[in-house]
């Protein structure tokens, strides 16, 4: 594929939304992790709906992703301290 076509293809498969929260590195990283979680959950649920994954396997995969997201939140310290006001 031509580079611009590859970029468009990647943007289609892995869309990213703008971030509107506190602009701190840990918040930006967590937002990216959250978007990736949502995208993967969408893929898993679509595979389960299409009969390509069992309900139990879909649940197990989503549960593992959730644990990763929780670990990411804890490691980044999101929600542990008050956020400074953005002016």
Take residue 61 and report the two structure tokens written for it: 């995969």
pLDDT higher than threshold 60 for residue 77: yes
pLDDT at 26: 92
Residue 33's region, left for phi above 0, alpha for psi from -120 to 50, else beta, is alpha
Higher pLDDT, 21 or 41: 41
pLDDT at 23: 82
Kindly report, residue by residue over 28-59, the tens digit of the pLDDT. Answer: 999 999 999 999 999 999 999 999 999 999 99
Q: Which residues of 31-66 are buried (b: 16+ CB within 10 A; e: fewer)?
A: bebeebbeebbeebeeebeeeebeeeebeebbeebe
């Amino acid at each position: 594929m031509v580079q611009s076509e590859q970029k468009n293809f990647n943007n289609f498969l892995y869309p990213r939304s703008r971030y509107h929260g506190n602009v701190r590195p840990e918040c930006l990283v967590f937002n990216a992790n959250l978007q990736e979680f949502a995208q993967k959950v969408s893929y898993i649920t679509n595979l389960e709906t299409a009969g390509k994954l069992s309900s139990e396997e879909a649940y197990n995969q989503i549960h593992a992703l959730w644990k990763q997201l929780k670990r990411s939140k804890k490691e980044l310290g999101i929600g542990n301290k008050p956020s400074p006001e953005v002016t």
